[in-house]
Amino acid sequence: MSGTWAEFWDRPNSVYCGERHLIAHFRLVADELIGALGGQTGLRVLDYGCGEALDAGRVAGMTGRLHLCDSAPGLRARLAAKFAHEKRIAVIAPEALGDLAEGSVDLVFASSVVQYLDRAALDGFLGTARRLLAAGGRLIVTDVIPTDNRIVDDVRALLAFASRNGFLPAALASLVATFFSDYRRMRARAGLAAYDDAAFVSILAAAGLSGERAPRNLGENPYRRTFVARKAA
């Protein structure tokens, strides 16, 4: 079994219930990211922990530059090949973010990422985000797991999303299969980070960012949380 989350995400896994779930998930992520642009075009965007980024071409059409960043090398290679023709898309590794100029990004978007980061990695990411953000730029962190997270809420969110997107039978089967899944074993081994609102805002502040919880989570699980932050004055 993979020893780290980065290794886990770089190989086939059972996180998604099937192709319909995968497509619906990344379509929603793209919709949320485009919505976060607020109708502005030409912004420079960093999608941190981008995953498969199936709709990145659509997002890129609304931006001046879209950096797709992921820690999984195999995934990056696939993305680079897929979007080789798209001049506005650059695929980069997290360690290459240091090569980007200070203040060169208008929006850093991290969807369903921080639960897989330990505290040192989270602090490193937030410090990098602060350095990259231009004046007036924003960091948006979605899918933060609250400390009072309940499995029943995750199940309800999955089934509701599946019902809306036409993969409810696959989702029901997946819930049964989850007990024996690689994701469950990996979660038991590596764990998932969870934060209450005050703790996460405090972590942002320690990184030089002024943040607050958004009114709703930008993602398929309404029981999780999104935070929006800017450089602190």
Following DSSP, what letter does each residue of 161-215 receive, concatenated?
A: HHHHHT-HHHHHHHHHHGGG-HHHHHHHHH------HHHHHHHHHHTTEEEEE-S
Dihedral pair phi/psi, residue 20, rounded to 5°: -60, -40
What global pTM score does this model have?
0.91
Whats the size of the chain, residue-wise?
A: 233
pLDDT > 70? residue 184:
no
**Please, which residues bridge with residue 67 across strands?**
46, 90
Q: What pLDDT was estimated at residue 83? A: 97
Q: Are 48 and 42 in contact (CB under 8 A)?
A: no
Q: What pLDDT was estimated at residue 66? A: 98
Contacts of 60 (CB under 8 A, 6+ apart): 66, 83, 86, 88, 89
Q: What pLDDT was estimated at residue 126? A: 98
Is the CATH number 3.40.50.80 carried by domain 5-231? no
Q: What pLDDT was estimated at residue 189? A: 58
Q: What pLDDT was estimated at residue 219? A: 93
Domain boundaries, the chain: 5-231
Positive or negative CA dihedral for 33, 166, 70, 65? negative
Dihedral pair phi/psi, residue 136, rounded to 5°: 85, 0
pLDDT > 50? residue 112:
yes
Q: What pLDDT was estimated at residue 198? A: 98
Dihedral pair phi/psi, residue 138, rounded to 5°: -130, 150
Q: What pLDDT was estimated at residue 1? A: 40
pLDDT > 90? residue 60:
yes
pLDDT band at 181 (very low <50, low <70, confident <90, very high): low
Q: What pLDDT was estimated at residue 176? A: 72
User: How big is the CA angle at 180 (ends 174 and 183), to the nearest 5 degrees?
Assistant: 75
Q: Are 146 and 152 in contact (CB under 8 A)?
A: no
Taking the C-alpha atoms of residue 137 and residue 119, their distance in angstroms, rounded to an integer, is 24
Q: Among 75-84, 107-116, 170-179, which stretch is predicted with the lowest mean pLDDT?
A: 170-179
pLDDT digits (tens, 9 = 90+) for 121-177: 999 999 999 999 999 999 999 999 999 998 889 889 999 999 999 999 999 988 776
Q: What pLDDT was estimated at residue 224? A: 97
Residue environment code for 37-70, b if the CB has 16+ CB neighbours within 10 A, otherwise e: beeeeebbbbbbbbbbbbbbbebbebbebbbbbb
- Kindly state the average pLDDT of the residues 49-71: 97
Mean pLDDT of the chain: 91
